[in-house]
Structure formats: C-alpha cells, structure tokens
Amino acid sequence: MESLWLALVQHPQLVYQLISLPFAFLFYMLTKLRCFTLTHRYLYLAVGGCVLASATMGSYSSIVLVPALSSALLAYALHPLDVHRWMLGIQMCWQTFWHLSIQYSEYWLHESSDSRLLLAVSALMLLTQRATSMSMDLQEGKVPPPLTGGGVLGRACAVLPYLSYSLYFPALLGGPLCSFAHFVHFVEQSAGSRPPSPLRVILSKTLSVGSLEWARRLLRDLLISYSPSLGCLGGLGQVLWVWTLSVALRMRYYSHWALSDCLNNAMGLGFSGCSQHGTPLWDGLSDGNPWMVEPSSRLSQYTRKWNRTTVTWLRRLIFQRYSTTPLALTFAFSAWWHGLHPGQVVGFMVWAASVQADYRIHNHLRPLVETKGKKLKLVYTCLSWVFTQLVIGCIMIVVEFRSVSSILLLCRMHACFFPLIYILTPLLMKWQ
C-alpha cells in the first residue's frame, strides 16, 4: 500500500480524480432517482468543474475558467458557421501564451514551474479540445443552434449547456473527449434512459489503475538501479533500457486514461450496450488500454489506437480539412497544441515521418510476404512489432522530456538508429 500511495503522490492528477469519483457517481444516483431537473444536471456538472478547478489550481484556475466562459458565450452569440474559426483562434492564442510563459520560465529563467500552473495548462489543453469539438458540431449542424430565451434568465439557461460542457468535472483533468452532441444527448436523456449501475466497472478500472501504478513503480526502480552504469551498457543494453523507460512512461498514460474513463463511467457516460451474454459494456468512451494498443505490429496502427479520442479530434480538426500534406499538418498542429517544446517539435515531426514511412514499407513488403508462407509472415509480424515498439519508445522519450538535452542524450544511444532506419527504408527500397 505504501508503494501505491507514493506512486499516487508523484502523480497528483490521479489523486484529484479519485477524490472526484464519489461526486460523479452521486450525479448518476441523483439522476436515476429523478431528483434533478435538466437545469440542475447542467448546473451540477458545471459547478463541480468550477470547484475542482479552484481546489486543485488555486489562483491559476482563472486560466481555465475565463476561456470556458468565453467559449460558451461565443457558441451562444455567433452564427454556427462562424463560431469555429473564432473558437479555434482564441483558444489556441490563449493556450500558446501560457505554453510560451512556461518555456520562458524553464529555459530562460531556469525556474521550475508551479505544479498548479502545469495542471491548469493541462486542463486548458483539454478545454481547447472540447471548445473546438463544440464549435465543429455547431458548424456541421450536429446540434441545433441555441434558442434565445426571454429575459436574463432565459439567456442564461441557453448558455448553460455550453458552459457545462466546457467545465464538467469528470473531463476537467483528463479525457476522453466526448463530443458536444453526445454530451447534450446524454444529459438530456439521462433521466429517461438510464444505463445500468457502473459500480462493477468503477471497481474494475480502479483496480487496473492500482496495478498499472504498482508495475510502473517497479519499472522505475529497475531503471534507477541501472542508470549509474548506463554508459557502460552495450548497444543491446542501452536499447533495452530506452524501451523499458518508454514502457514506464506509457504506463502513466494508461493509468491516467483508465481512471478518466472510470470517472466518466461513474456519471453514466460511456455505456455502449450489452454483450451477447448480457454483460454491460462501458467501452463507448475510452482513450485506449495497453491490451488493445501495445500488440499493434504497425506504427500507423499503433498511432490510430494511441490516445484514441485525441486522434479522432485531430483527424476531424486538421487531417480531413486539408488536402495538401494533411499528415504533416496534423502532427505539426499536435506539436503546437502540446506546447512547442523542442523535444515535442522534433518528436512529432519524427513521428509523422515514421508513419509516412510505415505506409510505404508495409504497402511494399506485405504483398511479398503473404505469398511466402505462414512462418515468414510470423517473422515479418514480429520484426514489425519490435520496430514499432522501439520507434515509439524513442519518440515517447523525446516528447516527454521535451528539452534539447534529452534529444542530444538519446542521439548518443544506439536506440536512436531505429527511427532513422525506419524513415530511410522507403528511400532505400526506391533505389533498388
């Protein structure tokens, strides 16, 4: 229990979300008992978000609360066809200002940023997702435009769904991204069509979070024990160390996603029906789990499954709207959205080049391998999985540690050759 508690303390976001779980389940119970009107449901979620932001971010909560209110007012005041460009522009300018402020503090003043500021900017990134998703839903006619009510109270009630979606507390500190159209439908219909009790899935996902955090701590201790002798390790030893570090980093994401899914499930979001055996399924809203993502034997497949709702958002926001180099533009925007740290820019550009190379490599080799028998196909799949793991591992480390020094450190290790080989392979195949 002590090791688990230490792991949670080192990642306070998990603690804040765990504390929020009973309040999310309380929303489910009060809605099930028909104690809430529609306005009460919207208010409960919005006020919960305000309280959570104030309690966890302190004075930095204004970084999230101000743009949440402004996005709700924009959605209410502007024409549905005009709201998206204003929403995207204002949100990204505000977010970029705070990202650059953090970079100025870290790289120029050499000061560590306040943890509450980092948490507020992380929540701001998620708010940008929700705000732009809302504006795209309005632009595409997936939800009706707001009705203009009479008087101040009527206008406030018309703005309330937008404000509630921007601030609803189960998604304030973590995904997954729920579309505005789905959120509105859920809140409006939750008193009528009630999903089954989520208690079982809450317990299951909470236990999986504990298991992931325990395993991550074991990996961290293993990495620390080998760190002093890292320079003495051979090429294979360095590659294994880098891969293990990337697995530990990815475990943090998986535990965060599992708890975020659990928090949404606790309020009733994410129910997708029942299986053939009558078991309730709660996988309708998820960013991914290791059993679905890690077996991917292709880099492009891994990329589509990783942080799934964010990938869907980026695809809808950038990839589907531009015909010229959409892949590069999508990854470039992702680097901008993440903060434009040097490691993030390099990491996402390498990721884009690797995904492009992945399409070309497998389109060329797979037809040849499939005609050679099952054994060769198995070897090909295993080698492809190994390359996927090592390329993603290098990208993950550079993106997570963000600084130029982390890029230079990785470049001095043998593991850095794997992304380079992967990117250059299509060129070698073209020259043959």
**Spatial separation of the C-alpha atoms in residues 68 and 91, rounded to whole Å:** 9
**Spatial separation of the C-alpha atoms in residues 24 and 202, rounded to whole Å:** 11
The residue written with tokens 């949404």 in the block is 264
Neighbours of 267 (CB within 10 A): 30
The residues with which 280 forms a beta bridge, in sequence order, are 274
Whether 49 contacts 109, CB under 8 Å: no
The residue written with tokens 């891994």 in the block is 302
DSSP 188-225: HHTTTSPPPP-HHHHHHHHHHHHHHHHHHHHHHHHHHH
Whether 287 contacts 176, CB under 8 Å: yes
Whether 195 contacts 29, CB under 8 Å: no
Whether 150 contacts 162, CB under 8 Å: no
Which residues are tagged catalytic? Answer: 307, 338
Give me the sign of the Cα torsion angle 302, 225, 6, 123: negative
